[in-house]
Every structure is written in structure tokens, then in C-alpha cells.
Structure 1
Amino acid sequence: MTASLKGKTILITGASRGIGREIALRAARDGANIVVASKTSSPNPKLEGTIHSAAEEIRNAGGQALPLVLDVRDDDAIAATVEQAVETFGGIDILINNASAINLSKTPELPMKRFDLMHQVNVRGTFAMTQACYPHLVRAENPHVLVLSPPLNLVPQWFGDHCGYTMSKFGMSMTVLGMAEEFRDVGIAVNALWPATLINTAAMNHVGAEASRCRHPRIMADAAHAILVQDAAACTGNFFLDEDALASAGIRDFSEYAAVPGSQPEKDLFVL
């Protein structure tokens, strides 16, 4: 186990805000190189953060940053992003598949264009990004792929509540299951990370989760860091909850992560 991500090049999708941004800032404090790959280039009054504001924060935190506009549904844009990352930093050590689309509508009310969006971003985007980064990851010293997706608990409730969204998130998790086994012999770690509780992000605000029900996304950043510093050959095929990843690193008091001090966060979706 290494203590730091210093000098590592990390490509993060959806890194302009929320969990992706927090993971980037945590790695930046180690001195990592961060490829900020997200759709938001210009300020949006409804959404905080752009690739450029995130890049500035990363540099201020001690890292190097390369902000790139990326829609993970666009294969040409994926190829260009990977190429620019390698040209700028010399390779890719870590890929974090964080970009995701959410719509919790039940089947009769879910427009097919929203169904398609979730599957194109969540499942196809994760697969395509990992495929594009593979030639560079396989040459890295301690390569990791981290996917922000839930444990594969096939509980009927999750499908009954929001079948379309659940299918897309479990599809992401299936890429973890399959690629961890497929890449085992070449030494690329593939793991999933999911929050034990609701996280205070724009996505949660969109579905009406109040901050008092949530934790700060910093908990996911610290958990991701605890995973990414592990030996890739010995840490693969896991479906981590943030609490478990932190507990393995010796952190068991999670009260500091409450979005509202003293509040009791609620369990996230897909957590038993």
C-alpha cells in the first residue's frame, strides 16, 4: 500500500461538481494530475461548478489539472479526451467512472428518452471509458478503475421502486464484476464504490433530499482515496460502501461528514 497519489494521473468523468469534484480535490492534495472530464464548460445558474472552476480549485489544492469537455455518449469525444490526457501527462493511472444520469420515475411515467439517457451515460459510458483507457492503464504501475455504482444486491424492491434507473446502475456494477475478472491477469484493479447514506449533491437536491438527510460528498472522496492507494493486484472486484472502505483504513467515526452537523443521515438507495 502506498500512502499517496502524488504524480498519478487520474481521469474523472463528471468531475465539475459533487462527488467527482471532491475526489479530484482529495487527490490534488497529494499532488496528483487530474483530468476534469465533464459536460459543463460554461456557468449554469441551476448547477454549481464547471470544468474550469474545478480545475482552478484542483490547482489551488496542489494538483495539476486538465479541464476537458466530455459527453460520455460520444465515442469520438472519449477518444480525444484520452488522447489529450496522455499527451499532457504521459499516461493514465486511474479512471474514475463517476458520470451518471438519474430519473426515479416508475415504468409508466418514464419517457424512453430518459431511459435511453440513463443507459447511455451509466452503462455504455462506463464501458466505453474503460475500454478507451485500457491500453494506457495496462502500462501503468498501479492501475485502478473505480466505478460509482452500488453493490449487486438483486432485491426486488429496488426494481419495483424505479426499474429503469436500477437497471442502469446495476449495469454499471456488472461492468465491475466482469472487468475485474477479465483484467485480473494484467493487474488492473476494478472496484465499485457507493455511499452508505444519501450524499448532499445536485442530484440529490433534484430528487428532493434535504441536506439534513445527507452526508457531505467528502466522505466519498476519502473512501475513494483509501481504495486507490491500495495494491491493484490485491484489491479488485470489490463492491465497497464508503463506510467500509474508510473502516478498513482505520476511520470509524463518520460524524464529521454530516452535511448538517449533528444530523442523522438516511440510508442511500441500494443499501440494505
Structure 2
Amino acid sequence: MTAEKTGTLAGKTILMSGGSRGIGLAIALRAARDGANVALMAKTDTPHPKLEGTVHTAAEQIQAAGGNALPIVGDVRNDDDITEAVMKTQGEFGGIDIVVNNASVIDLSPSLDLAAKKYDLMQDVNVRGTFMLSRAAAPMLKDVENPHILSLSPPLNLDPKWLGAHTAYTMAKYGMSMATLGMAVEFAKHGIAANTLWPATTIATAAVQFALGGDAMMKVSRTPEIYADAAYEVFLKPSREYTGRSLIVEDVLTDAGVTDFSSYAAVPGTPDDKLFPDIFL
């Protein structure tokens, strides 16, 4: 049975980890166009030498798009920061409807080359951060009408190709998915949906630019807006029915009636068969 979507995100409150730029910011801006409230918990308080955007510039863009923004400088690795972010969001907007686990660290180094600190960072941000932020917000989520947790992580594909390609990163991203799918079962009695969402092609973001393949890879990717439009569709689904799913961006949009993805090409006119497939699929 297909779960039908209802309504808009007007007046809904999203708490997102990260979101200063890239996919997280695109999701926030899509929700803002409906008049949503968006609380961003991110570390980037001052401009980064390589990366555009701070939590404050992101908040300005959200408000310009028609939403209400609450920039929160915080680290998803810090339990006090998580608690403060949840309480500030609750205090500012009166509740939390949606949690987006967007913050993530990528390092594709082989096991013998990976620094121990980077292994710990990926586990702390990707896995522990997803678990702790979702858990901290759950008491607020169960009090609203259509609560969703969405983690930007892949389906659990146990093909040795992916387990062996970059073992530590694969563990960290699969850990995000396992935490989310586990909570889908745990929180079902409260009507809280928990799903993962992952794209079929690479997305033109800083992660692709600096970790996957530079400008050449950016040119054969899709824009973050495709991820944002799919996330928007998920948020509107009835949470009691649409949960525990490992969703693919393009499948979500196809189900919503989108048949032409050409507008999402990072380089206009790039045919679909020339786009680079994302990892884990």
C-alpha cells in the first residue's frame, strides 16, 4: 500500500545536525519555502578556509526563503550540546516535528592508512551522533502529529565490494542506517517514523569535491536539490505507515510522479547515463 502525503511543512519544526552548506542546507531551504521552522546545530561558527557557509549564513538563507531559522553552534559529538540544541529548539518553536541526521564525516582511506583519530571521528559523528540526537529528540517527537527521523545514510548492502572498499567509512555509514532502522521499530508505538535516504548518483557537494574526485566528479553529479525534494516528500508521508525504509532519492521522486531528472544535473544537459553512480548501491 502506498502511503499518501498530506499537507505542507508550514509551521513544522525541523532540528538538523549540520546544514551550514550542501545537502543539509538544500533540505532546510526546501522546507523553508513552505514556512517551516529550521534549527541548525552545526560547528561552523566562523567561515572555513575551504568550505562556504556558516550556521549563521545558512540561517539567513532559510529566513530569506520564507522559513524561521534558529542557528545553534554545537557539536553532535557533545552530549551537552545535543541536549541544549533540543531544549533551545523546543523553547523557540514549541516542539520538534522532524529530526534530520545530516552531519557526517567521510574518509575513504584504506584501513592501513586511516588515522585512528579519523576512525573515531567518523564513528562519533556518523553513528553516535545519529543515535544520540535522535534519542534526545524522541520525547518531543512523540508529542506531535506526524513525527519523522530522517538519516542521510545508505541501505545496508552487505556486498563485500562495499564492505572492503573503505571499511571504516562503510561501518560508520551503515551504523547510521542501523541506528535509524532500529529506532523505527523501537519508536513505532509512538508513531515516530525513522527512515534513511541515499542518492543513486553522486551529489555535487564539498564531500564529493574533496573526498571523492574533485571537479571531474562534480561535473557528473546531481545537485543537492534532488536530495532536498526527496526529503520533502518523505516528511509529508504519514509517519505511522511510512517508516523503517531504506529509501533511494530517485525512487522517492518517481513515486511522487517526477519522471524527468534532467533539471538536477550539476552540468545542464548531462545525460543520466553519464552521471556517476553513488557508492553502496
**Match of residue 231 from structure 1:** 238
- The question of 1:155 aligning with 2:159 is answered yes
Of 50, 61, 68 in structure 1, the residue corresponding to residue 65 of structure 2 is 61
3-state SS, counterpart of residue 10 of structure 2: coil
Counterpart of 2:57 in structure 1: which amino acid? S
Contact 2:95-2:140 at 8 Å conserved across structures: yes
Q: State the 1:165 CA deviation.
A: 0.2
1:93-242 to 2 correspondences below 5 Å: 93-207=97-211, 208-209=213-214, 210-242=217-249
Q: d(CA) in 1 for partners of 2:198 and 2:183?
A: 18
* 1:78-135 residue CA offsets vs partner (Å, 9 max, x unmatched): 0011110000000100000000000000010011110000000000000000111011
* 1:5-46 residue CA offsets vs partner (Å, 9 max, x unmatched): 000000111111000000000000000000011110111221
**Match of residue 258 from structure 1:** 265
Coordinate RMSD, CA, aligned = 0.8
- The question of 1:23 aligning with 2:30 is answered no
% same residue: 55
**Match of residue 277 from structure 2:** 267
TM-score if structure 1 supplies the norm length?
A: 0.98
* 1:181-229 residue CA offsets vs partner (Å, 9 max, x unmatched): 1111110000000011000001110122432121000000000001000
Q: d(CA) in 2 for partners of 1:177 and 1:59?
A: 32
3-state SS, counterpart of residue 144 of structure 2: coil
Structure 2 residues without counterparts, runs of 5 or longer: none
Counterpart of 2:241 in structure 1: which amino acid? A
Counterpart of 1:97 in structure 2: which amino acid? N
Counterpart of 1:203 in structure 2: which amino acid? A
TM-score if structure 2 supplies the norm length?
A: 0.95
**Match of residue 49 from structure 1:** 53
Q: State how many pairs are aligned.
A: 271
Counterpart of 2:99 in structure 1: which amino acid? L
Q: d(CA) in 2 for partners of 1:131 and 1:70?
A: 17
